[in-house]
Structure 1
Amino acid sequence: MGVAGTGKTTIGPLLADRLGVPYAEGDDFHPAANIAKMTAGTPLTDEDRWPWLDAIGAWAHERGGLGGVVSSSALKRSYRDRLRSAAPGLVFLHLTGDRALIEERMSHRQGHFMPTALLDSQFATLQPLQPDEAGVSVDVAGGPEDIADRAARALAAPDGVRSADPAPTG
């Protein structure tokens, strides 16, 4: 989970590979109308998101007991609750990062429908993971392989770590 540009599509497959489970791209679950709205620079409403979240939840439910990684912004607690209602064992990986870094990365993406202009609305909507939610947060500073390694370690921690080790500095 995370705002646009945090690397969900890049980190997701890397993490799935490390965990030995399949990966599903959350954007593939969007109906065409949602993609058209975002391409036009219009933020989605909750009503736009419900069918998308239900489709992701159904995929996660089918993977119950088998494992899998699926990307989704899941910016609000209510969105994560909806996903958990379909697949109660979900554990969230919140990719976090500095707004300037994320905007810079978004500006270099090619062929993606989400414009940089919607980043502010993403941050305004974001409700970070709460202590009672199963999941970890990982900073997206660093390269994809490093981020995926830190995410895998955080998710594998036996003590239910809420946050991964900090991103390397320097």
Structure 2
Amino acid sequence: MGSPIVVMGVSGSGKSTVGAALAQRLRVPFGDADDFHPPANIAKMTAGEPLNDDDRYPWLEAIGEWLAEHHDGGVMSCSALKRPYRDQLRRHCPDVEFLHLSGSMDVIARRQASRPGHFMPASLLKSQFDTLEPLDADEHGVVVDVDQNIDAIVEAYLSATGTTEQENR
């Protein structure tokens, strides 16, 4: 079995969709970080207010605990926008790998517009890009462009990491 994978990126980058597809392909559990937000965080984002680090800390702790429980393989979608957030997840699961879904603000805005009813309003997209810290060279991860279909994104990650479905059965 492999290490858990966090599919990261700004809101609207396709983390949940790609994460679910990757988990299905690898035949491992999938978790969506949106399901770990306390009601206060959802209310704040719904009101158009970005979360601060104090809001994110308990949320990231819960996600880190999930990763530790799935240390032998699992996929979690989580924005993980800043290095300290990823470090917090690594404290729970040091071997976690990251798949950073990257795209331009225009591409992501188009994607966001196609998902009505999500609690994260498009008005917060700029704050997400302002917060984003790309993976550092010492972080175990892969960056994949989101401006392609889901299967191509999954395949790009698997190819870049040398992961095969056989390894994860």
Compute the TM-score of the two structures, normalised by the length of structure 2: 0.90
Larger relative contact order (CA 8 Å, sep ≥ 6): 2
After TM superposition, list the pairs within 5 Å mapping 1:1-170 onto structure 2: 1-64=8-71, 66-156=72-162
- Aligned equivalents of 1:42, 1:145: Cα separation in 2: 33
- Aligned equivalents of 2:57, 2:159: Cα separation in 1: 31
1:3 CA drift (Å): 0.5
- Aligned equivalents of 2:163, 2:16: Cα separation in 1: 23
1:22 CA drift (Å): 0.8
Any stretches of 5+ residues in structure 1 without a counterpart?
A: 159-170
8 Å contact kept, 1:38–1:113 = yes
Compute the TM-score of the two structures, normalised by the length of structure 1: 0.89
**Percent sequence identity over aligned pairs:** 55
Alignment partner of 2:133: what SS?
coil
Alignment partner of 1:82: what SS?
helix
- Aligned equivalents of 2:115, 2:145: Cα separation in 1: 19
Alignment partner of 1:142: what SS?
coil
Select the structure that is richer in strand: 2
Query: What is the aligned residue count?
Result: 157
Any stretches of 5+ residues in structure 2 without a counterpart?
A: 1-7, 165-169
RMSD: 1.2
